[in-house]
Structure 1
Amino acid sequence: MYVIDYMETGNPSDRHFEHRNQPLVQGVGVKYFSLLEATPLPAIRIDILEKVELGPHSKVKHIIHITYDDLTSVARANLPEAVKRIVLENEKIFTEFFNIADPINIRLHALELLPGVGKKTMKAILEERELKKFENFADIKERVRIDPVKTLVERIIKEITGSEKYYLFVKPRERGVSEIYLGYLERLHGEIF
């Protein structure tokens, strides 16, 4: 996970009692953009925007899932930069999204859910990928004239806040009747790895 806030003395307003008076980190998972809260190990210093492994040799313990509403203002401010770093580190996966995105229904294409992508841009993306698959972000930017990183980051942040009808990348925490999860990250991780 990428750490988006580190509270050395805890968070007195945290809804989890154990996090109110002991060190606490908030972060975003690097694979599926899960929002996480954890306790750093004793005598461990963690920096904001540091990438922390979550395996057996992790610097943190007691990892729990949280919602966007649980994030501190510092964590919310650092979230876009952390998401941007994740997108850039996974350029191959996110480039592939532009190559495989499908229509959602007869009136809406998955690409149209990206900020700044309307019918005209979507048509350009589809025509360009028909000629030749996109190879990387620079290729997308050059051939279609959009900034794929900025567009993806904006979309992922919208999905993390939980205010969307369709979810391309982030699985909604509280799935209601009106939310539709399209699961592109599972598809992309399965195809590429």
Structure 2
Amino acid sequence: MTSAVERPLLFLDVDGPLIPFGSSSGHPHAPAADASVPAGPGNPLLTRLDPGIGARLMALGCRLVWASTWGEEANEVVAPRIGLPELPVLEWPENSAEAGPRGLHWKTRPLVEWADGRPFIWVDDEISAMDRLWVAAGHPGRSLLHHVDAAEGLGDVDFVTLAAWLRAVAPR
């Protein structure tokens, strides 16, 4: 059982949850852009970032961790645009893409290892049933693997789900 002081980790992906790939109708500040453009300061997809989402993430009270192929670039390019401080970055081992059970995402094992038994939320647009089964069988702590629709990005309904899980797992 976690103490009220120890807040769960929140592993956060960038592409999909923070940078939605669908219609910009859900994000009025976000014009349509080509998802194949490489990441960087001039990337037009960065206009899809919701500048207020950082405050909403911080308000959850979790220990936020980048779990994205953006790596340190998430701190350099994404964090300042959405109002987040520099966050720890989950470094992917070279063998993280090694074959595992069919359908297991290559991020799943490194996330569970990094969590080291602590409760965590994983917010990503590529979470599968196999990831849920693997975490349930191999992670002794509580976890929420929260799939975000990549076309819409992290939205109000997602925040309601995250906050409800946090209230149940680690009430303030």
**TM-score, with structure 2 as normaliser:** 0.29
Tell which structure's C-alpha radius of gyration is larger: 1
Name the one with the larger helix percent: 1
Relative contact order, CA 8 A, sep 6+: which one is greater? Answer: 2
